[in-house]
Structure formats: structure tokens, C-alpha cells
Chains A and B, each alone.
Chain A
């Protein structure tokens, strides 16, 4: 049994609260660093972070990358440009293959 957490600016996360998600609104992306210890403790199975927040906590999230939970997943925030989640995926590909070229070629 676990909860789902959403961290981000209040505009992006507010809507998740009525659905039963645990929402953490941060005024500034760096404020999320202080929340991280509670979030990675095991109470939360999935932690959704908006793109600016992920950029602020990327090093903390990397430490959780080799554990099954929590699964840190990037979602777009309201008004953020996007592409961070894709970049995170590309880093995983690069880690596995040493390059990201291979997959791109295959898709085309």
C-alpha cells in the first residue's frame, strides 16, 4: 500500500489533490530538496515531479534510480516548455548503450 506524491508549483499540482494524490506545492523548485527525504522514505510508491522541480532535484532523484521505489516520473508543469522527461529517458538509454544514436536510427 502506498501513496502517490505530486511536487510542483501550486498551479500544476492543485488539481491532483481532490483525486487523492498527496500534493506538495513549492513556491520555488529548490524548496523541493527539503521535501525529498520524506518522499523517498518508502511511504510513496510514485513521485511525480514537474519539470522545473526535477531539474532542481535531479541529483537526489538519481540516488533513488537504482531502487524499485519510489519511481520518480517527470510530468510537464503548467506552462513549462517540456522535453525534460524525454531527456531523462535519453540519459537512461545512454547509460545502457553508451550512446543514444542507435535507438533514434531504429525509429526512423
Chain B
């Protein structure tokens, strides 16, 4: 593991110890966040699978009704009948925070009332098809909201996992190693000092002995 390049002195040692403590605390917090995000994520997945299957089935059902309408009245006539309307603002969007991930909330306003086509010339099944589609619309929005939340959670989980791994496998080991290294160098300096002192003491003692002899 790469060591951090610092001067091996007590000041740096203290600084590094403090950094190490912060890194470990941060790692624990992030790890907790990661676990919690994952729990939230997994809880949403199976619910979403069910909802998607339901929406897809209802949509296919509605498409079937439209196909029957087309067969009865003709493709061009149906296309023309469905053209008579303008897009409306159907959504109120807001945001909420799930584990500090901002996810959208969609609130549906009332759908436009289908109409504008001649009831005399259009088959009844067209009304039914539109009613089916109107019935599935709220579920579609719910699905959109949930899937978006899942995507955003997935992105956040990925980011958090990277951070946890970077702390766990890079930063914390390198700090630990650098601390050990500095500790060793300081100990070595301490031993060097001690032997020098002992040597000096010997020299002084020898000098004093010589002076006494004179």
C-alpha cells in the first residue's frame, strides 16, 4: 500500500492519527448508509416487478380494444377521431428525499375527457378502449415514479459503494501504514539518541577518571 509522503515527526504523527480516526468514522457512517440504501432498494424491486407486469398486461388489453375499433371503423377514421385534442398539463411534480436521494413525486391531474369524434360513426369499442387506457394511466404514472426512484437509488448506491471501498481499501490502510512507519522512525531516532547519550556519558566518565589521576 502506498505510503503518504510526510516528514516523520511527532506533529505529523498526531495529524495522521486524527485523520485516521476521521476516516474510520466516515467509513462506518457510509457503510451504514450503504446498508440502509440497499435495504430500501431491494424492498422496492419486487413491488416494482409486480406493478410493471400489471401495467403491461392492462396496456396490451387496451391495445387489443383499439385494434378491434380499427377493424370496425377503418384505420384512417380512427386515427382522425383520435387527433382532436391538445396536450394538457397533466402532472404536478414534486420531490421528496429517500435516504437523502431526491426522488420525484408525480401527482396526476384529471385526464382530458375523450371526445370530439362522432358517436354516430365511431364504434362503441373505441369508447371502451379509451376508458381502458384512462384506467391504466394512473398506474403508468405510479410505475414511472417508482422506476425513477429505483434508478436514482441505484446510482446513489453505486456512488456510496465506491466511497466505502476507497476508504476501506485505500485511504485507511495507507494512513495506518504511514503511522506505523513514522512510529518506527521515531523509535529508531529514540534508540539512536539513547546510545549517543550512553557514549557521551562514557567519554565524560573517562575524562573525569583521567583528571583524577593527574
In the complex, B151 has a CB within 8 A of chain A: yes
Contact between A89 and B52 (Cβ–Cβ < 8 Å)?
yes
Residue of B52, B78, B148 with most partner-chain A CB within 10 A: B148
In the assembled complex, how far is the CB of residue A20 from the closest CB belonging to chain B, in whole angstroms? 3
Per CB-CB distance, the 6 closest pairs between chain A and chain B, nearest first, are: A20-B112, A22-B87, A18-B114, A71-B148, A20-B88, A96-B154
In the complex, B13 has a CB within 8 A of chain A: no
In the complex, B23 has a CB within 8 A of chain A: no
Contact between B143 and A89 (Cβ–Cβ < 8 Å)?
no
* Contact residue among B52, B82, B140, B141 (Cβ-Cβ distance under 8 Å from A86): B52
Contact between B90 and A18 (Cβ–Cβ < 8 Å)?
no
Q: List 5 A-B contacts (CB under 8 A).
A: A14-B66, A71-B145, A73-B147, A85-B56, A95-B154
In the assembled complex, how far is the CB of residue B88 from the closest CB belonging to chain A, in whole angstroms? 4
Contact between B150 and A89 (Cβ–Cβ < 8 Å)?
yes
Contact between B157 and A96 (Cβ–Cβ < 8 Å)?
yes
Given known A3-B90, A75-B59, A95-B155, contact A18–B112 (CB-CB < 8 A): yes
Spell out B's residues near A (CB within 8 Å): 38, 41-42, 45-46, 48-49, 52, 55-56, 59-60, 62-63, 66-67, 78-79, 82-93, 95, 102-104, 106, 111-112, 114-116, 129-130, 133-134, 137, 140-141, 143-145, 147-148, 150-155, 157-158
In the complex, A41 has a CB within 8 A of chain B: no
Contact between A93 and B154 (Cβ–Cβ < 8 Å)?
yes
Contact between A96 and B38 (Cβ–Cβ < 8 Å)?
yes
- Counting contact residues on chain A (CB < 8 A from B), the size range is 35 or more
Q: Per-residue CB proximity of A58-86 to B under 8 Å, as 1/0?
A: 00000001101101010110110010011
Question: Inside 8 A of B56's CB, which chain A residues have their CB?
Answer: 75-76, 82, 85
Given known A2-B93, A69-B104, contact A19–B41 (CB-CB < 8 A): no
Known: A15-B62, A20-B87, A95-B157. 8 other contacts (CB 8 A): A19-B133, A45-B91, A68-B152, A73-B143, A78-B63, A93-B45, A103-B45, A103-B46
Given known A2-B91, A19-B112, A65-B151, contact A48–B144 (CB-CB < 8 A): yes
**Which partner residue on chain B sits nearest A95 by CB separation?**
B154
CA distance A52 to B70 in the complex (A): 22
* Contact residue among A46, A75, A85, A97 (Cβ-Cβ distance under 8 Å from B106): A46
